[in-house]
Amino acid sequence: MKQIILIDREFGAGGMTIASLLAERLKWKLFDDELSQEIARLAKMPLEVCRKREERKDPFLHRLVHLIWRGSFDRNLPSPDLAILDTDCLVAIVQKVILQAAEKGPCIIVGRGAPYFLRDRKDTLSVFLYASRELKYHRILKRLNHNKKEALELLDSQDEHRQKFVKHYFGHDWPNREYFHAFFNTGIGDNITVDAILQLLDAVNQKEEAVKK
């Protein structure tokens, strides 16, 4: 029985909006900004340790940290510059938070490499959301109060960072098709996309129940 929906997405494709609609329809727990908060909490380090590592800041880590924090548009999260970690340590923290979230029953998890960290679980339904560049740009622009420069910067950089993260840690291209049950073009509309995901969830669960019988 699939009781965890994993949503990976192109930046600006509407992943958070669609995840929120799904959570509302299913009455399931939604993990998105809450994951970033927990990662931030676990990543805190004593100031003296941070000072010792300041000269060894990893450019890849810098991009990864900002990918995690900026991915949710949450401007209230602690500054990632407060936590100077080596890349492997940060990824281990992300993995721990994702695994803990998956143990909390029916839920929806957005991003953070969840389809890769949870690839061996049998109770997950993984979907990938994408959209045209124009649609993604206008979504991002709206969330940033029409800051065109920042919208273009995020549009051109965030997915590239995700590609590098997945390639570096999992050895796969992003998105890796074998980890997803379906790809959806969100240009068809948010509610239609939600309907399609729910139909897929229902069909897959019905098939699994039939096999058990």
Q: HEC string of 128-183?
A: EEECCHHHHHHHHHHHCCCCHHHHHHHHHHHHHHHHHHHHHHHCCCCCCHHHCCEE
Least confident of 107-111, 112-116, 160-164: 160-164
pLDDT for 173 equals 87
Highest mean pLDDT among 71-75, 88-92, 175-179: 175-179
pTM here?
Answer: 0.80
> How does DSSP classify residue 41?
H
Paired residues of 185 in beta bridges:
130
pLDDT in tens, 131-153: 999 999 999 998 888 789 888 98
Nearest to 6 by CA among 119, 108, 95: 108
Instruction: Specify whether the backbone of 7 is left (phi greater than 0), alpha (psi in -120 to 50) or beta.
Output: beta
Domains and their CATH numbers in the chain: 4-199 (3.40.50.300)
pLDDT in tens, 3-41: 999 999 999 999 999 999 999 999 999 987 777 777 667
Whole-angstrom Cα distance, residue 119 to residue 149? 36
The two structure tokens encoding residue 106: 């029916």
Place 172 in a pLDDT band, splitting at 50, 70 and 90: confident
pLDDT at residue 43 greater than cutoff 60: yes
Nearest to 195 by CA among 27, 22, 14, 13: 22
pLDDT at residue 179 greater than cutoff 80: yes
Q: Which whole number is the average pLDDT over 66-85?
A: 46
